Chain A
Amino acid sequence: MARVVVDVMLKPEILDPQGKAVHGAFGRLGFDGVADVRQGKRFEITLDGEATEERVAEIRKAADTLLANPVIEDYTLHVENGQ
C-alpha cells in the first residue's frame, strides 16, 4: 500500500491567526528566538495498492478541489512508498 501526503499551507500573504496564537504561546513558555509560526494541515492518504501515475493524478485533483482552497492556500504533494 502506498501513501500520498498532501501538505496544505495558507499562502504567505494570508494572515494566519492560529499560527500567531501558537507563536504567542512560544513566547509565554520561554521558547525564545522564534520569529514567526505558520500552521498548516497534513493529509495522509493511504491507497489500495500502488501509487500509479493515474492514481496520484486523481489525488492531485482531490487536493485541487477539496483539500486546498486555491484562493487562500498552496499545497505540496508527495508519495511515500512504505513497506
Chain B
Amino acid sequence: MKIGVVTFPGSLDDADARRAAAVAGAEAVALWHGDEDLHGVDAVVLPGGFSYGDYLRAGAISRFAPVMETIIKRAGEGMPVLGICNGFQVLCESHLLPGALIKNHHRKFVCKDQALRIENNSTAWTSDYDANHEITIVLKNQDGSFVADEATLDRLEGEGRVVARYLGNPNGSYRDIAGITNERGNVVGLMPHPEHAVETLTGPTTDGLGFFTSVLKAVVPS
C-alpha cells in the first residue's frame, strides 16, 4: 500500500504527512507538483502549507499543477485523496469538493489543539473511527473558514457529507464544518491536521492516526 504525498512550492507539512503514512504502516511516496506521474501510489495526501505563497487565493494556483491533473482524474475513478489544510483549499479550488475557505473571521492565525467530532465514519479516510467519535488534533491556519451557499450546506448535511465538525468554532466556518467529503466518500478535505497527531512525542494525542490507517483498508480490503 503506497500513499503519495504531494510537495508544492511552499508546502510545509509534506514530511509529517509522509511520516504519518509510515507510522500507519503504509509506504510513503514523495510526489512532486511538476510531475504528472503518480508513481504507482494507491492514495494521495495533499498536505498543509502555503503553496505558491497563497498568492491569488489559497490553493488557486496549485490546482493547475501538472500533478493535479492526474489526481483529479484518478479521484474521479475512486482513488482516495485526503486534503489537509492547504490541501483542503486545493481540493475546493479543483472543484473536487464544494465550497471555499476564506480568512479566519477573527483575522488571526490559529495554532491550537482542537476538539472535533467525526460525523461520517464511512469515508475512505475515517472508517477506523467510531460514529460520533470525538478526537483532538492540531489546528493551524489563516484561511480556515469554510464557506458555501445555504443550498450547498443543506446538501452536504442532508447527504451526510460533513466528515468532521468543530467542538467550539475556532475560525468562523459555517455550521462548524471542519471537514467534508465528496459523494463517493473517497475524497476528503479537512482543515485540522491529523498528521501532527500520530505520536505523543510531538502531538497532543494519537487521534489523527485513524485517517491514515483507515485508508489502508479502503485500498486493501482485509
Contacts and interface: CB of A to CB of B under 8 A. Distances in A.
Given A21-B107, A71-B92, A14 B56 contact: no
Interface in A14-35: 14-15, 17-18, 20-21
B142 to A, nearest CB: 10
Contacts, number: 36
Contacts of B145: 15
Nearest to B148: A71
B140 interface: no
Interface residues of A, number: 13
Interface in B138-188: 145, 147-149, 172
A52 interface: no
B205 interface: no
B103 interface: yes
Nearest to B99: A71
Contact count band on B: 20 to 34
B107 A69 contact: no
B64 A66 contact: yes
A72 interface: yes
A69 B61 CA distance: 12
Nearest to A68: B57
Interface in B60-82: 60, 64
A10 B101 CA distance: 12
A34 to B, nearest CB: 18
A15 B92 CA distance: 18
A67 interface: yes
Query: Which 5 residue pairs of A and B lie closest in terms of their CB atoms, listed nearest first?
Result: A17-B103, A71-B100, A17-B107, A72-B100, A21-B107
